[in-house]
């Protein structure tokens, strides 16, 4: 098995999810006593919160780059960034190390293409929903993305940052996501991408009005494939 480094770029909640899911997949595929060889650096989210100005993103880039270098120096043979929004900095981080980084949106796009999905709604933080760095990866796999609804952007930003990232799960948030997804189905989406590693806390991924592509699950599957030398081509 190959050793994977995890940059825990957002909340400790999603970092814990990555650790749990990757290990469960590896245990199921490899052996009952197997566990994944992981190096985890859980970053202080206070340094990466609510980035708006370019200088804020530059500061965040330096935090992630230093983390990537430390993980590479500690023996990681590959990396993942455990946060969708931090993939805005993917190119900067990838250029700073000599090991591969598994891009979350790339694997989401591959999964959607395999499933024959051609139109989808993208749900996540403000920068994921409104900027091109994430959307272009999915479009490259033939996915037509609905334009972001700015009212939903505000709602999701509040739920993600004020609630989910501190481990708070409410019925109101669950109802809000159900309403958003129902409306996206009426607008013509044939699937939904949960492009935030905490959104599965308030969305039933396995039973919904539309097929749900959970970026966290997909990224963990890709990570386990990589660890076990089982990567598939897109």
Summarised one tens digit per residue, pLDDT across range 189-204 is 999 999 998 898 899 9
More confident call, 162 vs 224: 224
Spell out the SS3 assignment of 85-115. Answer: HHHHHHHHHHCCCCCCECCHHHHHHHHHHHC
Summarised one tens digit per residue, pLDDT across range 125-151 is 999 999 999 999 999 999 999 999 999
Highest mean pLDDT among 43-47, 56-60, 141-145: 141-145
Q: Which segments of the chain are extended strands (E)?
A: 4-8, 38-42, 78-81, 119-124, 144-145, 192-195, 212-214
Summarised one tens digit per residue, pLDDT across range 61-119 is 999 999 999 999 999 999 999 999 899 999 999 999 999 999 999 999 999 999 999 99
pLDDT, position 234:
43
Residue among 128, 119, 131, 101 at smallest CA distance from 194: 128
Asked if residue 228 has pLDDT above 80, the reply is yes
Asked if residue 45 has pLDDT above 80, the reply is no
Q: Mean pLDDT for the chain?
A: 91
Measure the N-to-C terminal CA separation of the chain; round to a whole number of Å.
Answer: 22
The Cα–Cα gap between 234 and 224 comes to 16
Asked if residue 51 has pLDDT above 90, the reply is no
pTM score, whole prediction? 0.92
pLDDT, position 52:
64
pLDDT, position 216:
94
């Amino acid at each position: 098995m190959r050793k994977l480094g995890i940059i825990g770029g957002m909340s400790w909640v999603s970092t814990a999810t990555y650790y749990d899911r990757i290990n469960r997949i590896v245990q199921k595929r490899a052996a009952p006593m197997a566990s994944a060889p992981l190096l985890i650096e859980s970053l202080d989210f206070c340094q990466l919160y609510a980035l708006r100005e370019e200088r804020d993103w530059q500061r965040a880039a330096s935090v992630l780059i230093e983390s990537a270098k430390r993980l590479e120096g500690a023996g990681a043979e590959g990396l993942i960034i455990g946060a969708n929004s931090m993939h805005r900095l993917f190119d900067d981080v990838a250029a700073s190390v000599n090991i591969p980084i598994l891009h979350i949106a790339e694997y989401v796009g591959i999964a959607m293409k395999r499933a024959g999905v051609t139109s989808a709604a993208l749900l996540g933080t403000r920068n994921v929903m409104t900027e091109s760095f994430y959307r272009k990866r999915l479009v490259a796999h033939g996915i037509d993305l609905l334009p972001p609804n700015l009212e939903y952007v505000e709602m999701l930003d509040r739920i993600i940052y004020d609630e989910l990232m501190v481990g708070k799960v409410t019925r109101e948030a669950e109802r809000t996501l159900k309403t958003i997804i129902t409306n996206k189905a009426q607008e013509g989406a044939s699937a939904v991408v949960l492009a935030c590693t905490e959104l599965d806390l308030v969305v039933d991924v396995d039973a919904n009005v539309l097929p749900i592509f959970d970026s966290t699950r997909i990224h963990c599957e890709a990570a386990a494939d990589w660890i076990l030398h089982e990567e598939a081509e897109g």
